[in-house]
Amino acid sequence: MSVKPPTRSVSGPEQPIRVMVVDDSAVIRGMIARWVGEAGPFEVVCTASNGRMAVDMAERHKPEIVLLDIEMPEVDGLAALPLLLKAHPASKVIVISTLTKRNAQVSLKCLSLGAVDYLAKPESARAADAAALFRRDLLEKLCALSAAKARQTPAAPATGVMSAPAAPAPSLRPGHVRPKCLLIGSSTGGPRAVERVLQDLGPTLTRIPVLIVQHMPPMFTAVFAEHLQTLLSLPCREAKDGDAIVAGTVLVAPGGRHMGVNAGSGNPAVRLNDDPPENFCRPAVDVLFREAASVFGASAVAVVLTGMGSDGTVGARHLVQAGATVMAQDEASSIVWGMPGSVVRAGLAHDVLPLDTIGQSLKSLIAGTSR
């Protein structure tokens, strides 16, 4: 998959996005800096070999994006993160770590402290194309954050320059069937958004099953599910093939596998498979939405939260055609308005809501008290 740099509707020369690379390996720093420099509207303004140096450089160079390794001497990424954000609050931090359970736990902790995304660093023992996949994922995330910044930056007045058209207002009416299953799809910025929605639902969670597809690598999804269980004091786990879909349980699609729904003999259950990626994703939100539409029909309610790309749009169409209700997070509260924006522009959202009101709206739907 090629990664196209975002375009900007501004007059005058384009200002590159300022990037800082923080890693204790000189080889890794050099490799990432080269990739970033070749990718488009990015400029590596500084590199650092540990967190202490990174904090000092952040104050002087004011990077817009920081690529922060977790495992470093002196001051590691977890300790450096809050100091970096204090030195330059406008920085968007992507944490990078090797794929271990401990690093997955630390990465999720970093997200709670203000990092916007995470990236699993390939290990030497992995497949030969691991570096190429890491590069692709890295540049996708950079371009998504850059595009989000471009949309938030007012365009300078210029003759003949057209601003991007506003997303259409929702024209669909929510269904009248009380939901029997909540579906959530998310990517960049998703873990914190998912947490907020589920926490806002509170005791209502005991009345409905929840199925989540969060774009995450293997191991991260299991740790994310464990984190949700601690947070919510409800059964939350990484889904297994054949798991019953029952009220009061939260199931997270495992990294590297699609999660769908099987009607079975009248008792819906999780169906996992290793089919090819969809939208370059596995798990894919489209798979969950599409299969849930065929099983739950109008009794499903889906929420598309912050994330890059368009995963979820095709599945949302299946849900809408089945009579289900689809909500999308609004642009202002999204880290990246790719997935929810795609659903909104396709005219498939019944409501487009700020993150802090989605939970309350879902509570009304589930209780049967919504409009």
What's the pLDDT tens digit per position in 316-351?
999 999 999 999 999 999 999 999 999 999 999 999
**CA quadruple 245, 248, 253, 258: dihedral, nearest 10:** 20
Give the pLDDT band (50/70/90) at residue 170: low
Q: For residue 156, what pLDDT band results from cuts at 50, 70 and 90?
A: very low
Give the pLDDT of residue 368.
81
pLDDT-derived band at 174 (thresholds 50, 70, 90) equals: low
The pLDDT confidence band at residue 304, using thresholds 50, 70 and 90, is: very high
Give catalytic residues, as residue numbers. 187, 215, 311
Write out the residue limits of the CATH 3.40.50.2300 domain(s) in the chain: 17-152
- Contact between residue 6 and residue 147 where contact means Cβ atoms under 8 Å apart: yes
- pTM over 0.85, yes/no: yes
Mean predicted confidence (pLDDT) in 191-215: 97
Instruction: Share the mean pLDDT of the chain.
Output: 89
For the chain, give every residue range classified as CATH 3.40.50.180. 181-367
How confident is the model over 29-88, as pLDDT tens digits? 999 999 999 888 899 999 999 999 999 999 999 999 999 999 998 899 999 999 999 999
**Which residues are within 8 A (CB) of 299 and not within 5 positions of it... i.e. 6 or more apart?**
177, 178, 179, 180, 181, 324
Work out the average pLDDT over 183-208.
96
**The domain 181-367: what is its CATH number?**
3.40.50.180
Looking at residue 40, what is its pLDDT?
80
Residue 369: the pLDDT is: 73
pLDDT band at 128 (very low <50, low <70, confident <90, very high): low
SS (H, E, C) the chain: CCCCCCCCCCCCCCCCEEEEEECCCHHHHHHHHHHHHHCCCEEEEEEECCHHHHHHHHHHHCCCEEEEECCCCCCCHHHHHHHHHHHCCCCEEEEEEECCHHHHHHHHHHHHCCCCEEEEECCCCCCCCHHHHHHHHHHHHHHHHHHHHHHHCCCCCCCCCCCCCCCCCCCCCCCCCCCCEEEEEECCCHHHHHHHHHHHHHHHHHHCCEEEEECCCCCHHHHHHHHHHHHHCCCEEECCCCCECCCCCEEECCCCCEEEEECCCCCCEEEEECCCCECCECCCHHHHHHHHHHHHHHHEEEEECCECCCCCHHHHHHHHHCCCEEEEECCCCCCCECHHHHHHHCCCCCEEECHHHHHHHHHHHHHCCCC
Dist CA 297 CA 325 (whole Å): 10
Instruction: Return the CATH superfamily for domain 17-152.
Output: Response regulator (3.40.50.2300)
Q: Does pLDDT of 146 surpass 60? A: yes
Q: Look at residue 220 in the predicted model and tell me its pLDDT.
A: 94
The pLDDT score that the predictor gives to residue 223 is: 95
Mean pLDDT of 100-113: 92
